[in-house]
Structure 1
Amino acid sequence: MSRPIARDDLNLPLAVTTLMKGVVYRDTHEAVWQHIIGLSAQVSDYVATLGLTVMIDEAEGYAFLRSRSDDDLAERGIPRLVPRHQLSLHTSLLIALLRKRLAEFDSTDAGAKLILTDAQIVEMMSPFLPQTTNEARAADQVETALRRAIDLGFVRRIPKQEGHFEVRRVIKAFVDAQWLAELDKHLAEYADTLAEA
């Protein structure tokens, strides 16, 4: 744990520019985290001028920027700063399955980190991949989805542990409990569709 930063030494440009680059985690960005928490009101006011909202979850230890709704941006005459990107089916499926696994994990062992191996991730996704004799192609699809989830900040490679990944808690902010409650129904429908193909 680094020593606390004095109020006069807090740096608004550092806090905002780091948030602009992506999710900030307390455990991996300790010093920047202190700037964000110490200046949270100023960060919120600053990014609001850009049509953004800062989302801070101190309990889980992450912060990120989110665009305001399209209606709110249009009303204010502000263009969307961050373009929306469509996720592939496999990436969306992986993120949903990881969120479900995190919810199950939290119900039994709250507070710890959810660590999965690449083999566990492939096993988790395999019922939802088209049946094929080409296992290498299926593994490539999972690997591509996993890389995208890492790029989005939902998953982190564990240093010095090849093939081990941490599911980051920020995923809870993007896949909410209501959506998760409907997930089993959607997954069953998807699995049925694959079985019929």
Structure 2
Amino acid sequence: MDKTETLFSTTLISLLSGIVMKNGNAEIWNTIMSKQYLIDEYMAKIGLSLVIDEDGGYAFLKQNDGDELPHLVKRQPLSFRMSLFLVLLRNEINEYDSATGEGNLVVREEDMVRRMKPYFPEVTDEVKFTNSIDRCISKALEMKILMPVKDNEEEFEVQPILRRLVDAEWLSGFNREMERYMEENGISMKETEEEDKKDEPV
């Protein structure tokens, strides 16, 4: 196998392994861009299609709807806490886009702890709760939704792919779960908003 064939095969394997970022490997990204029609044709045989977002700088494989072939794209089961974490990140992106619309949103662990805390009113162990948010951050890094900011271990850049992963349909389903959760735990949106304002710097 020559270098060109090896690179093409490596690109296919990378796509089958998950999301490919533009800033991850220039050779693989350039292969995706130059061979996208060939990749799409190849993947269609196994029930997958290539999705590229040039502006967002990412590409991934999507399972074709209604295809009777076995699913090759991994479905990642998410806990309620992780789902809430992603929704709050999505809300942060919306606010950021409305305010500036430039670059990618950067968040810190303390930001997400503050955002998440109002939804868990019975928290008694602050360290344990913070550790649970750290696990959400680690999962988001694994999913390539967050990327560490260079030379800063406490800051994370939210990647554009979150907009596609947490779409209107996903949010609709989660909101139903959220309403049930808040009702069962006696939490109101007014209370969470007041907690957010209380924690915001003056």
With normalisation by structure 2, the TM-score equals: 0.79
Rounded to whole Å, the distance in 2 between the matches of 1:19 and 1:134 is 41
Quote the offset at 1:91 in angstroms: 0.8
Matched position secondary structure for 2:59: strand
2:81 to 60, 84, 90: 90
Equivalences for residues 1-197 of structure 1 within 5 A:
11-69=7-65, 72-74=66-68, 78-177=69-168, 179-180=170-171, 187=178, 190-195=181-186
Quote the offset at 1:29 in angstroms: 2.5
Rounded to whole Å, the distance in 1 between the matches of 2:170 and 2:97 is 17
Q: For residues 14 and 100 of structure 1, do their structure 2 counterparts lie closer, same or farther at Cα, with a shift above 3 Å needed?
A: same
Contact 1:15–1:43 (8 Å) recurs in 2: no
Rounded to whole Å, the distance in 2 between the matches of 1:183 and 1:83 is 20
Contact 2:58–2:161 (8 Å) recurs in 1: yes
Aligned pair count reads: 184
Matched position secondary structure for 2:23: coil
Contact 2:61–2:73 (8 Å) recurs in 1: no
Runs of 4+ aligned structure 1 residues displaced above 2 Å come to: 8-12, 27-31, 82-85, 177-196
The one-letter code sitting in structure 1 at the alignment partner of 2:63 is: S
Q: Percent identity?
A: 27
Rounded to whole Å, the distance in 2 between the matches of 1:14 and 1:91 is 31
Quote the offset at 1:124 in angstroms: 1.2
Give CA-to-partner distance per residue, 1:89-131, whole Å, 9 cap, x none: 1111111111111121112222311111110011111111242
Quote the offset at 1:184 in angstroms: 7.0
Contact 1:10–1:35 (8 Å) recurs in 2: no
The one-letter code sitting in structure 1 at the alignment partner of 2:67 is: L
Matched position secondary structure for 1:163: strand
Rounded to whole Å, the distance in 2 between the matches of 1:109 and 1:189 is 34
Rounded to whole Å, the distance in 1 between the matches of 2:55 and 2:99 is 18
